[in-house]
Amino acid sequence: MNGIKFQKNDNLTPVIIQDREKKDVLMLGYMNDKAFRKTLKTGWVYFWSRKRKKIWMKGEESGNKLKVKQVFIDCDGDTLLIQVELFGKAVCHTGSKSCFQNMLLKRF
Amino acid sequence: MNGIKFQKNDNLTPVIIQDREKKDVLMLGYMNDKAFRKTLKTGWVYFWSRKRKKIWMKGEESGNKLKVKQVFIDCDGDTLLIQVELFGKAVCHTGSKSCFQNMLLKRF
């Protein structure tokens, strides 16, 4: 569907989530074909949970939902970039806006 | 090393590459432990090529190298975000700055 090449071993594709306005990278999740279709149909981001082995809507429990603004596919067709509007304050389960809070290295 | 949890099936970790200044998401690549170490040691981004089965420095042929500015790891420890300065004009082999040029959907 839509030219996405899902990974052969698990039928998933990585999905980069980026804040539409501030352009912060918020998280990386995974979708299977069904999660991708639900995302397009509803306008809210759904992922495949590799831990729980099921589709879930991001924010279904926390309320921190991701409203789809723009969807891009990369040149290889195997990665998605979804620009979103964040409903709520945090994407990360730690309470941070982004999951990428831990800096390993800074160079000037 | 540095708490990175590499994927069990292939010992790789996905790496999001973001323009440090403009904050555009440029591409998603993969590193194994050795590529990650070379990246930190040299300050230039190295990937594991899943197609060619070897480590390569991004831009070694094209000249479009990625200079490491900041490295983040996500809350799960299984994904990296590297903010870079792009040497050259394009990251993508198509000649575009970013690999995410193909828009699948836009919502207002």
Q: How many CB atoms lie within 10 A of CB A38?
A: 17
B1 touches chain A (CB under 8 A): no
Dihedral, CA of residue A32, residue A35, residue A40 and residue A42, to nearest 10: 180
pLDDT at B59 over 60: yes
pLDDT of residue B55: 97
Across A29-55, average pLDDT: 96
State chain B's mean pLDDT as an integer. 94
Q: What pLDDT was estimated at residue A59?
A: 94
Residue of B nearest to A17 (CA): B25
A2 inside 8 A of chain B by CB: yes
Across the interface, whether the CB atoms of A105 and B16 are under 8 A apart is answered no
Alpha helices in chain B (DSSP H): 33-42
- Say if the Cβ atoms of A99 and B74 lie within 8 Å: yes
* Domains along chain B with CATH numbers: 13-87 (3.10.20.810)
Question: What per-residue confidence (pLDDT) applies to A36?
Answer: 97
Shortest distance between the Cα of A101 and any Cα of chain B, in A, equals 7
| Tens-place pLDDT, residues B4-46 | 999 999 999 999 999 999 999 999 999 999 999 999 999 999 9
Cβ–Cβ below 8 Å for A100 and B81: yes
What residues of chain B lie within 8 A of the CB of A103, using their CB?
A: 70-72
For the segment A86-98, the average pLDDT, to the nearest whole number, is 93
pLDDT tens track for A4-27: 999 999 999 999 999 999 999 999
